[in-house]
Amino acid sequence: MKKFLMLCVAFLATTAFAACGGDDTGDGGGGTPVSKLTVRPLSLSFTADGGELTVSAQAPTQVTATSSADWCQVSVGSVQGGLKVYPLTVTVGANPTTYSRTATISVTAGSESATVTVTQAEGTAAPSGAITKDAKALAKEMVPGWNLGNTLEATGDGLAAETAWQPTQTTQQVIDAVKAAGFKSVRIPCSWNIHSDGSGTIDAQWMARVKQVVNYCINDGLYVVLNDHWDGGWIEVEGFSASTTSFRPLTDEQIAAKAERLKDIWTQIANEFRDYDEHLLFAGLNEPFQQYDLFNGRHADLMKNLNIYNKAFVEAVRATGGNNAQRTLVVQGPSTDITSTSQLLSASDLPEQAGRLMVEVHYYNPGQFCGTFDASGDKAFYYWGADNHSTDHNATYGEEDNLRYLFGLMQTAFTSKGYPVIIGEYAAQQRTITGDQDKHNASVKAFYKCVNQYAANMGIVAFAWDVNDLGNLLTETGTGTIIDRKNASVVGTNALEGIKAGVAAATWPY
């Protein structure tokens, strides 16, 4: 009955094309002849359950139609009288995936053609399975890693936050491009507290959207590290100082309240993802007390707070049971600074014995090469690495020897003791400069190569920071972007070539 009614509507709609008539000459029974291909509508939308919808094609010659996808079938019905209307029946089955999908119908009549876009909403099935690998086994399979940066951690209202700091909504096609580039794992920085109501409950739409993006990655066989990022600073800053403008220590009661809120957030997240297998890892925080003007010189004093929060995170996830009892979790070092972490966070401070735990640090060194500084004067380094110095703007610290030394600190403190380490973020700016562009390009490639080679040699997984900023690619400010998400293509070729070269040259030690 539904199909019959839709055909009737389609036939009535053709009166806009030509007057009604019964001959086969295409003149509409004395009206305007049918002289070109006209297709209506040009887009169809299906629910996850699928179904059948009809498109009307009017043309003076035989119409044919083909679909670009197996899950979307199309058939051409018999021509309807002098109007030369061909009903096209589009049939879509239930979507078994957890992502929306798109197909195109190509309609042809003689030398003319038209395209109908068919979309279907994502299915509801969620990945599940057993936890079979411990942290050491997972780490080896996660190299190299990539960040969905400036996306789900951005501030903003509701779902609109996803494109507040960069312009592209994440799709399965974006993640497909990440996989095609050779990455094995995706770190998803995410905000939760700013998407919660007055009682602390995370917005259901936000949770569903995060889950959808996680599923995009797992659909492609990628590992996922999902964290609680800066998130408005509610714990990254305010969990370590009672003021955001001048340092004021928290009381024990204030620290306990922050820990309880962290437990509440992670209990909600962990319950939502309880049945996911080992491809999903949780990271409790991002960069604890990273605000330099407040916390420089205070790292040792703030370890009490950090140890409490790390423990609260792990306890909350483990208490939800299921796969979360064995899921690999990631805790952060002080300010995610490598030197401070190696000095102040010992294996004995960690909330669990080795087996299901990783430690996170970040690496943006040297800052003038890695960061988006004003490139005028000597404020930025264009060149990095022993073989890549030019006449000016050379890195004066933080090159190969320093990188190897710092990563070695993490190997000694953690990876050699059974706690894999992730460099949750690192990047270098690809710039368009007025100096030696070839040397700069070689510097970017060398930096990414060395980070990945030295990291993997020491049992460390490095995650490239990527913010989908193409506007600065052709400027001296530069960008750390590797994947152009709008076009699902690689723009950071020097970075990606360096990553691949580093991984190929590395030998995993454990």
Give the chain's length.
Answer: 510
Phi-psi region of 189 (alpha: psi -120 to 50; beta: other; left: phi over 0): beta
Contacts of 222 (CB under 8 A, 6+ apart): 175, 178, 179, 183, 184, 185, 186, 279
The sign of the torsion formed by the CA atoms of 124, 127, 129, 135 equals negative
Contacts of 188 (CB under 8 A, 6+ apart): 148, 151, 152, 210, 213, 214, 217, 224, 225, 226, 227
Structure tokens at 85: 């209307």
Q: Are 469 and 431 in contact (CB under 8 A)?
A: no
Among residues 490, 422, 472, 481, the alpha carbon closest in space to that of 451 is found at 422
Q: Measured between alpha carbons, how far is 354 from 419 in angstroms, rounded to an integer?
A: 6
Q: Are 500 and 182 in contact (CB under 8 A)?
A: yes
Chain Cα centroid distance, residue 147: 6
By annotation, the residues acting in catalysis are: 287, 425
Q: Are 151 and 209 in contact (CB under 8 A)?
A: no
Burial class for 69, CB neighbours closer than 10 Å (0-12, 13-18, 19+): middle
